[in-house]
Amino acid sequence: MQLKHGLHLAYCTNIHRGEDWRETFDSLQRYTMAVRAQVAPKQPYAIGLRLSDLASRELAQPETLASFKNWLETNNCYIFTINGFPYGRFHGTRVKEQVYLPDWTSPDRLAFTNRLFDILAELLPSGIEGSVSTVPCSFKEFSRTDEQVQVMCETLWQCVGHILQLSERTGKTLHLGLEPEPLCYLETSDETVRFFDRLQTMRPKDESLRRFLGVNYDTCHLAVEFEEPHDVVQRFQRHGIRISKIHISSALKVRPTPEARQALQAFADDIYFHQVVERTADGKIQCYRDLDVALKPEHFKDPQTTEWRIHFHIPLHSARTGLFDNTADHITGLFQILRSNPSLCTHLEMETYTWEVLPPELKNRSVVDQLVAEYRWTLNALGL
């Protein structure tokens, strides 16, 4: 939906299964339209589209794309952003570290992302910017050499060139957002700034980098890293890095007491990575590759002096409990900045993709009702 000050808000459809175009379109008709009926029945409705590589190939066929464009117009809907992070299957099978592959060393990642921009340029209404979000270059375990980093830089510059040509041909404003995430090549805002500086030094007089490449600011990911929104925004602004899109998502925050550690077993699924970042009272940070690793007895520390932040996207409206807190304060802190400077980023997307693996106590309503509740929470928190 379009909000004040030119902001656009949607939920990311990666919460639904959609590994080919037929399944993706079925989800839009079954779930997205049901959500729309409750939150924006009489106004243009924004969709945050997730496409796999297979679905993008199928949708890119001229007849299929024309048919979908007609469906959008008939239903008074529009696409302003595409989630291009997961390349392949995203539900019902082990994803874990495979979600970062192919990474930005691969021509497959480049071809997929370019195709998403081609699709978006066709679907995007005039007068609205278009964004695509993507992996944070790679997973740290996959990018061990400077040669690999150099290939990632060169491949991203090729993508920037494609976006530039597409923007000039269509007259539309398009940009790509790299999404920092725990234990990835781009993990913190500092690492992100250093990478952008490296990219710019490759072509110091080329202004297209700042125009077409930015950051997808996922509030869950940077909160897990114990970063503060004011610091992050200032850091990006000082270095001329645009915020392409904001992913509105909340993480688990706990004191790892024996009771909490026991309850956290319900969150340790076999599908997604749930990186854990631990901070002790003296400020020391330790990262665990996954929740099951952090829960091993040998990693027990005094819960009175230790805080865990866990990469598990929980519903935005989730209530705090005696055992579990959340990182909603990071979201509201960023919203406070956004209210004072709406031009900071006009693309907002709620992204709680973990619906299928939520423990029962967080899954006590239908997916449609959950999404409606997330809209209501977000609109109230935004205060616009």
Contact 88, 354 (CB under 8 A): no
For all residues of the chain together, what is the average pLDDT? 97
Cα separation, 196 vs 119, in Å, equals 26
pLDDT tens digit sequence for 263-289:
999 999 999 999 999 999 999 999 999
Lowest mean pLDDT among 70-79, 341-350, 359-368: 359-368
Q: How many CA atoms lie within 13 A of 74 on its CB side?
A: 8
What's the pLDDT tens digit per position in 162-203? 999 999 999 999 999 999 999 999 999 999 999 999 999 999
Residues in the chain: 384
| pLDDT for 125 beyond 90 | yes
What integer pLDDT is reported at residue 239 of this predicted model? Answer: 96
Q: What percent of the chain has pLDDT over 70?
A: 100
16: which residues sit within 8 A by CB, 6+ positions away? 24, 27, 31, 32, 367
DSSP label of 50: E
pLDDT at 364: 86
310, 315, 319, 325: CA torsion to nearest 10: 10
Task: In whole angstroms, give the CA distance from residue 216 to residue 122.
Answer: 22
* Residue 335, pLDDT above cutoff 80: yes
Report the pLDDT averaged over residues 68-75: 98
Write out the DSSP string of 183-202.
TBSS-SHHHHHHHHHHHHHH
Q: Report the C-alpha gap between 305 and 17 in whole angstroms.
A: 40
Question: Residue for token digits 């920092």?
Answer: 180
Query: How far lies 201's CA from each of 150, 168, 206, 307, in Å?
Result: 12, 24, 9, 38
pLDDT band at residue 384 using 50, 70 and 90 as cut-offs: confident
- The pLDDT value recorded for residue 100 is 97
**The predicted structure's pLDDT at residue 280:** 94
- Cβ-proximal residues to 118 (8 Å cutoff; 6+ apart), any chain: 60, 166
Over range 145-165, report the average pLDDT.
98
**Strands of the 324-326 sheet, one edge to the other:** 285-288, 276-280, 306-314, 250-254, 324-326
pLDDT in tens, 32-67: 999 999 999 999 999 999 999 999 999 999 999 999
**Fold of the domain built from segment(s) 4-249+326-382:** TIM Barrel (3.20.20)
pLDDT for res 95: 95
Averaged pLDDT for residues 199-222: 97
Compute the average pLDDT of residues 106-124.
98
**CA-wise closest residue to 233 among 339, 149, 307, 131:** 339
Q: What is the pLDDT of residue 170?
A: 97
366 pLDDT exceeds 80?
yes
Q: Note every long-range contact of 287-292, with CB atoms under 8 Å and residues 24 or more positions apart, other chains counting.
A: 287/182, 287/183, 289/183, 290/96, 291/264, 291/267, 292/268
Average pLDDT over residues 372-380: 98
How far apart CA 168 and CA 163 sit, in angstroms, is 8
What's the pLDDT at 318? 93
pLDDT at 367 over 90: yes
Instruction: Give the residue from 158, 180, 171 showing the smallest Cα distance to 130.
Output: 171
